[in-house]
Amino acid sequence: MSKFFRTVLFGSLSGATAAYLLTSKEGKVLQSKAKNFIVAYQENPEAYHELVKEKIDYYRQQMIKKVQSYQEDLQTTLDKDAELTEQAEKLPEVSAYIDDIVLDYDDMINKKK
């Protein structure tokens, strides 16, 4: 697709989205929420900064817990694999000699007669 057509397509989609948000009932609700947020932020930006810091810290803690959980699961799996390897090494070595069995049906039939 050429650059011109991509630009036209992107411009059309942006315009349609803006028109929908400016004229629809849902768009007006979104506008109202955005205006309320901006006014509240302008009145007390420090409170919003603290809220953002708290959210970041919360998600950081959640991420750390999840990574630690994955590490513990991995270590448990590795420990089980090591135990199985140790058990397999303790098993006695088994060997067997297999000889092919050849049946000669003609010879068996002749013996029966």
User: Residue with structure tokens 């397999």?
Assistant: 88
Beta carbons within 8 Å of 41's beta carbon, 6+ residues apart: 48
Kindly state the greatest CA–CA separation across the chain.
113
User: Which strand (E) or helix (H) includes residue 52?
Assistant: helix 45-90
11-15, 22-26, 92-96 — most confident range: 11-15
Tell me what pLDDT residue 57 has. Answer: 93
pTM, entire model: 0.46
Taking the C-alpha atoms of residue 72 and residue 78, their distance in angstroms, rounded to an integer, is 10
Domain ranges within the chain, ordered by starting residue: 1-43, 44-90
Reported as a single tens digit per residue, the pLDDT across 43-102 is 999 998 999 899 999 999 999 999 999 999 999 999 988 888 888 888 777 666 667 666
Taking the C-alpha atoms of residue 73 and residue 81, their distance in angstroms, rounded to an integer, is 12
